[in-house]
Amino acid sequence: MGKKTGKVYVVGHKNPDTDSICSAIAYANLKKEVTGDEYVAKRAGQINEETLYVLKRFKVRAPELLSNVKLQVKDIDIHKIEGVEPNVSIKATWEKMKEQNVKTLPILKEDELVGVISTGDIATSYMEVYDSNILSEAKTQYKNIVETLDGTLICGNDHGYFTRGKVTIGASSPELMEEFIEKDDLVILSNRYESQACAVDIDVSCLVVCQGAEVSKRLVKRAEEQSIVIISTPHDTYTVARLINQSIPVKHFMTKAPLMTFRMTDYVDDIKDSMTKKKFRDFPILDRHGRFKGFISRRRFLDVSKKRVILVDHNEKSQAVDGIEEAEIVEIIDHHRLGSIETMGPVFFRNQPVGCTATIVYQMYEEYGVKITPTIAGLLCSAIISDTLLFRSPTCTQVDEKAAKKLAKIADIELEQMAGEMFKAGSSLAGKSAQEICFQDFKQFTVNDVVFGVGQINSMNKDELKEIREVLLPHLPEVLKSNNLQMVYFMLTDILDESTELLCVGNNAKEYIIDAFDLGEDTDKVVLKGVVSRKKQLIPTLVGTLQQ
């Protein structure tokens, strides 16, 4: 498996509006149609009521939230690998490693990671173990010994454990055997009856009879009475002595907790130092429940690619999804002023002075010759209605209006009726807190050292705007403080009257607006006649004043 490079996220700005969401959905669909690759529409914030109404109207699922584009462990190719249980023998573990062609294997107890074993650990078990008591110290299961020696159980319980005594070879006379073999030992024997009987007399734990030698029925009966395990193996004494340590359970040699593990949700940037300082070949990965998911190798970690994103309807860093500086921006489709986004290399950047990003996306469908379905047409048309306030905004161009009318025909919608339903849904206060109302269409800007935010609600109902004013005005100082802003403006835009009442909070916020729009000093309410567009009327005028 190589590094992940296929998926590309198409995402609008934080506090997304209808244009941001609908353009992301439509453009992701266009890219998939044209390239056949995986493009996924995402959202960078909470969807407002107007947009929810549009999505519901055209039966389209809302894009999933992309809270940030920082690289996470789950974005790296994780090597899924089958582990072994703690009591499995070293030999069986080694065979599993060869079968899967891996250097490290997880030791799992019901999906819980209890340790890891590497080829180095297995080499240690073969090369550095000289203690004849190690089989009992490791509490080796007789079943492991049978399997390791390719043996057959003659009598006894193979699910039992060898827990006391040492491993010995009973190749000498019974007299000599009595001098070094003790009760509970494991004895490796040949076909000599006298030696076998001597071991039973001593009451050893286990007899391993080599080269398939016969064991008399009488001796088997005695062994059964004394709960002695007898194992027959086709191998000779030398081979058995060499192999038997491979029956030791893997838990005896594994690296135990505390292990250096990482979670699927960990950010790569946060764990980079830990990974590079440790000389491990592989690092275990756990899910949020602590279950083992696989390994990430050091090489794969260092070779990982960034998340790839296409930005629609913005090119300001302050409005982009968190962590954008760690992502690879591959395209930008926008209709705003040039902002503060920087890219590592050249990208496809399409920016046109039209009223809506959806208009640009519509043009690209036409240019590529991709058929626009009624659903996509409905989304794009709704975005244009929203961003141009049904062609009343000064940002609206003939291109926008022409595109909206063509899209309305494809989607079979009536523009005035659709606009009324959308704006009514968007300005509704039902069940909303002041915070939710404020941030359903809120953007942040930076001019020189001044950081300010501008929110907007559009409505065709004066009484509704008055009600929104009463809810928002006491809340704006908290918005100023909690978001570390110097000024906050909120536009209460009357679509039919084509005017905006501007709420101003913060350091000289009102004074800057009075200066920018040449209003009277004694102005109580700030009402801007003919101003309905944040992008084309409010922001450029305010920025000009701030830059002076």
CA–CA gap between residue 434 and residue 190 (Å, rounded):
88
> Do 237 and 140 fall into the same domain?
yes
Domain-located, residue 269:
no
> Do 370 and 445 fall into the same domain?
no
> Do 140 and 245 fall into the same domain?
yes
> Do 387 and 495 fall into the same domain?
no
Domain count across the chain: 3
C-alpha dihedral sign at 177, 181, 183, 186: negative
Q: Per DSSP, what are the bridge partners of residue 431?
A: none
What CATH number did the domain enclosing 489 receive? 3.10.310.20
> Do 102 and 239 fall into the same domain?
yes
**One-letter amino acid for residue 252 of the chain:** H
Q: Which of 211, 236, 252 is the last residue of a domain?
A: 252
> Do 176 and 240 fall into the same domain?
yes
> In 10 A of CB 443, how many CB atoms?
21
* CA 463 to each of CA 281, 386, 427: distance values in angstroms, whole numbers, following the listed order: 67, 21, 11
Instruction: Check whether the bond before 174 is cis (ω within 30° of 0).
Output: no
What are 359-400's pLDDT values in tens digits?
A: 999 999 999 999 999 999 999 999 999 999 999 998 899 999
> Do 101 and 43 fall into the same domain?
no
Q: Which of 231, 252, 273 is the last residue of a domain?
A: 252
- Centroid of chain to Cα 309: 15
What CATH number did the domain enclosing 101 receive? 3.40.1390.20
CA–CA gap between residue 102 and residue 94 (Å, rounded):
10
CA–CA gap between residue 211 and residue 213 (Å, rounded):
5
Cβ atoms of 231 and 207 within 8 Å: the answer is yes
> Tokens 């060869």 belong to which residue?
98
Domain-located, residue 81:
no
> Do 176 and 211 fall into the same domain?
yes
CA–CA gap between residue 248 and residue 245 (Å, rounded):
6
> Do 239 and 94 fall into the same domain?
yes
Per-residue pLDDT of the chain (548 residues; tens, 9 = 90+): 334 447 899 999 998 999 999 999 999 999 999 999 999 999 999 999 999 999 999 999 999 999 888 888 888 878 888 899 999 999 999 999 999 998 889 999 988 899 999 888 888 877 766 788 999 999 999 999 999 999 999 999 999 999 999 999 987 788 888 888 999 999 999 888 999 999 999 999 999 999 999 999 999 999 999 999 999 999 999 999 999 999 999 999 898 877 888 898 888 878 877 777 776 778 888 988 888 998 887 777 766 778 899 999 999 888 899 889 888 999 999 998 888 787 878 899 999 999 999 999 999 999 999 999 999 999 999 999 999 999 999 889 999 999 999 999 999 999 999 999 999 888 877 778 899 889 888 999 999 889 999 999 998 889 989 999 999 999 999 999 999 999 999 999 998 899 999 999 999 999 999 999 998 877 778 999 999 999 889 999 999 999 88
Q: Would the pTM count as exceeding 0.75?
A: no
> Do 488 and 439 fall into the same domain?
yes
What CATH number did the domain enclosing 394 receive? 3.90.1640.10
> In 10 A of CB 289, how many CB atoms?
7
- Nearest-CA neighbor of 158 among 214, 220, 205, 202? 205
- Which domain, by its residues, includes 111? 90-252
Q: Which of 400, 425, 450 is the last residue of a domain?
A: 425
- How close are the terminal C-alpha atoms of the chain, in Å? 56
What are 160-219's pLDDT values in tens digits?
A: 999 999 999 987 788 888 888 999 999 999 888 999 999 999 999 999 999 999 999 999
Domain-located, residue 115:
yes
